[in-house]
Amino acid sequence: GENVEQHPSTLSVQEGDSAVIKCTYSDSASNYFPWYKQELGKRPQLIIDIRSNVGEKKDQRIAVTLNKTAKHFSLHITETQPEDSAVYFCAASNPGNQFYFGTGTSLTVIP
Amino acid sequence: ETGVTQSPTHLIKTRGQQVTLRCSSQSGHNTVSWYQQALGQGPQFIFQYYREEENGRGNFPPRFSGLQFPNYSSELNVNALELDDSALYLCASSQDSFTDTQYFGPGTRLTVL
């Protein structure tokens, strides 16, 4: 089955700096890569996603890049704000209708 | 918030018992997926239902089973509960597949004593 690894497990940045979270996956058939934000005690919420036919996608301060050859994808958050503090999960799904989350990154933005 | 609801919010069971968790998907969403999230970990995919048929499953034993109904509601059933089953159980609905945006419910916190 798929194995999704996520790094780092914790990340602290100063407000206004950028944050980068990286994930690797093992199943070359995986074709959809979403990122979720989960605040303490709340449900995961989709913040951005990318499909395997696209190399990069951007939505305001958030961007995701995908390298299919190397089987890794990354989340980039620019101009971080305190409200960006949360746990972020990457995920991968394959055409076999299986869905795998990474282990999560706890991001703290220091005011 | 999303239109996905779950019940109950919290549940306490003892080892060996059976439990049924419920989820109400957004109207028009044909796919529901269930996840187990242990404390401090990422959600683990249990299975997915599409139009009342299971069409994807993660690495969970057969004592985890489910049902999806035509009215956009679904159930997760767990038999012979074990202590390690203690976790937050999340359901998520999407239009037709994983590549459509998944909307998560608030979860059911299950404690097995």
Q: Does the pLDDT of residue A57 top 90, yes or no?
A: yes
Q: Do A97 and B97 touch (CB under 8 A)?
A: yes
Q: A60-108 pLDDT, tens per residue?
A: 999 999 999 999 999 999 999 999 999 999 999 988 778 899 999 999 9
Rounded Cα gap, residues B2 and B7, in angstroms: 15
Q: B69-102 pLDDT, tens per residue?
A: 998 899 999 999 999 999 999 999 998 876 778 8
Distance of residue A39 Cα from the nearest chain B Cα, in angstroms: 12
Distance of residue B1 Cα from the nearest chain A Cα, in angstroms: 9
Q: Does the pLDDT of residue A36 top 90, yes or no?
A: yes
- Residue B78 gets the label, from left (phi > 0), alpha (psi -120 to 50) or beta, of beta
**Is residue A2 a contact partner of residue A26, using CB atoms and an 8 Å limit?**
yes
Rounded Cα gap, residues B105 and B59, in angstroms: 22
Please name the member of A32, A44, A97 whose beta carbon is closest to the beta carbon of B48. A97
Q: B23-67 pLDDT, tens per residue?
A: 999 888 999 999 999 988 999 999 999 999 998 899 999 999 999
